[in-house]
Structure 1
């Protein structure tokens, strides 16, 4: 969903956006809502057969830059580049490559790429090792958030139907293995004798919303087994996450190997006290001045980190304000897009 997040800011900075997406997909819908002119294909496999139409579209609209975000999309993009050598081709590797891609096909495909973007230092190091490119063609370009979206508390605990005298602890993001829900629930179970909190799982509950449905069922069953039915609410997919975050007191991100941590900086932008995993890219975003870190495999560490913040509203406020200030200085969307445009314009 990255393209639709940055398209409004690209427009604001004078760039015309076009999108290529699967017809009827959420990506296509999000691009249209962001104001992009859209070229659709019926399926990923049939995208290759759309090459002549795509080339005509590129010529008709004088498109100069291609930017793709999945390795499967690179198959189409590098062919377009072959037929239109004047195009610049950029690829954001959002996860960080964990297996070597130095075979004949990958060497040829990546030879057409102008530059690969890594979204964190953690993924940058993986990409350096795995991709068939010299280091000067792999750059680190962190993500950004629109701070204005988090400028005011737009929803109260009462509006959420939750007790205002409870400390709200949230875990936002996709409900899939590796995101740390199991350890988080085990930690909450050890804190259930503390009556001053309520926990919220914010994220889609079915496949159409990006969730692993079998895993969702497991997590709900685990919460019930731990006696947390009345203490943990599953809110499902929400379009008002910025508003929700501003009503939270503590946000937990226990992902074991986060490639960047967009949810982390979104929570920081909302002024939340964040507890994040001390693995992956999250330690690049959080330090002791603006949050807390815990081992994603250690229930004991999560209990300690949450306990420290539960009954310390002044500390939560201090960490949240310092986190928001850091995001304002380092991770805003306008700065990210400005840096992206600078990369586009380089030779």
Structure 2
């Protein structure tokens, strides 16, 4: 089979990129030939004789929305000329203007648009917003609104639409995707890279002898919901929090200071050593307001960590009462505080939950996910 995958990146260190990286390797193992229409591809794939990389350069353009438009336009021109050469084309969302046979959906922008950055912003968050933050919020809203329009057309044109979680499947049904064209394939995790263990907290300047939670995500935007985590943390005075995420342009350092949390919240910046960092903490807290899946959830579970998340996070469907805590409302600071207290105060509970979490994660390897995708491709092509 000759397969074409249209995606921005095919690399390990990227959510959608990792999915397509694993799919490509599984297709190679089965003897298929893969053309990658992408801006960036891992060297080990570029060197493989069964892989053809068609580069779509977008570097240098000033904003993501512009880069995406350029990518869509350039990839569509190439596909218009070469699509007939392939047995199947896979794309992600509204990435290209040419219809794909399989469209894998990692985000439903129209669902997030219902909340919008402004509606989702809490009062405490607004109090510390600066003009740059307001502009960033407006840009996020514009980006989301544009994608919401483009993606509906892309989904309607695909033979099969793959949702990366049951939450995304529900969102897709709400915007008119027919159930018979919809399939759910959950994202996976690297069970070797993310594994249980311990490491010295001093590597990151984190305190010993205290319960320590981890929050990891983009802390420049309200969607990830660090503001509610900080509000809840006020009510759990013995708990410390490590925060992994880009701090430039984030209002949460100021918010933590205004809440009197500066000595208990440790902003670590963008981290490329999250698997090691997870070995230094006691549990993950990630109550995102809207998260199609949330790789950080299953990665923490693979590390043997209990997880506190919200029903609005796609990966919450993996979190059982024996492996973590799922709160119904991501903005319920009181419920979140109770969840934090439950884990912060009970080492034995954390240990038991962590074991169950690892067991659940072991059922969701990247290899298993990739096999499901390639099985789908082969069935469609049979």
2:22 is equivalent to residue 9 of structure 1: yes
CA contact (8 A) 2:224 2:287 kept: yes
Distance 1:172 1:306, change over 3 A: same
- Stretch of structure 1 that moved more, 261-270 or 32-41: 32-41
2:331 is equivalent to residue 297 of structure 1: yes
Aligned to 2:352: 318
Aligned to 1:220: 253
- Stretch of structure 1 that moved more, 45-54 or 220-229: 45-54
2:45 is equivalent to residue 35 of structure 1: yes
SS in structure 2 of the partner of residue 200 of structure 1: strand
Aligned to 1:241: 274
* 5+ residue gaps, structure 1: 22-27, 79-87, 207-212
Deviations 1:124-178 (A, max 9, x none): 12211213x4321111111111111123537421322223312211111121112
Distance 1:248 1:297, change over 3 A: same
Aligned to 2:371: 338
SS in structure 2 of the partner of residue 346 of structure 1: helix
Distance in 2 (CA, whole Å) between partners of 1:172 and 1:105 is 29
CA contact (8 A) 1:187 1:302 kept: yes
Distance 1:68 1:227, change over 3 A: same
2:172 is equivalent to residue 116 of structure 1: no
Aligned to 1:253: 286
2:187 is equivalent to residue 138 of structure 1: no
Deviations 1:216-250 (A, max 9, x none): 1x211110011111211111111111111122102
Distance in 2 (CA, whole Å) between partners of 1:108 and 1:258 is 22
Deviations 1:7-38 (A, max 9, x none): 553354342544333xxxxxx34x23563434
Aligned to 1:94: 106
* 5+ residue gaps, structure 2: 1-13, 47-52, 59-66, 115-148
Distance 1:155 1:242, change over 3 A: same
Aligned to 1:180: 225
TM superposition score normalised by structure 1: 0.80
Query: Which among 35, 56, 69 is matched to residue 92 of structure 2?
Result: 69
2:342 is equivalent to residue 308 of structure 1: yes
Paired residues, what number? 311
Query: Which among 205, 208, 213 is matched to residue 164 of structure 1?
Result: 208
Aligned to 1:210: none
Distance in 1 (CA, whole Å) between partners of 2:44 and 2:310 is 32
SS in structure 2 of the partner of residue 158 of structure 1: helix
CA contact (8 A) 1:20 1:38 kept: yes
Deviations 1:97-135 (A, max 9, x none): 4389xxx9988755541211111112212211213x432
SS in structure 2 of the partner of residue 178 of structure 1: helix
Question: What is the deviation of 1:303?
Answer: 1.5
SS in structure 2 of the partner of residue 13 of structure 1: helix
Question: What is the deviation of 1:66?
Answer: 2.2
Aligned to 1:191: 236
Query: Which among 144, 149, 154 is matched to residue 193 of structure 2?
Result: 149
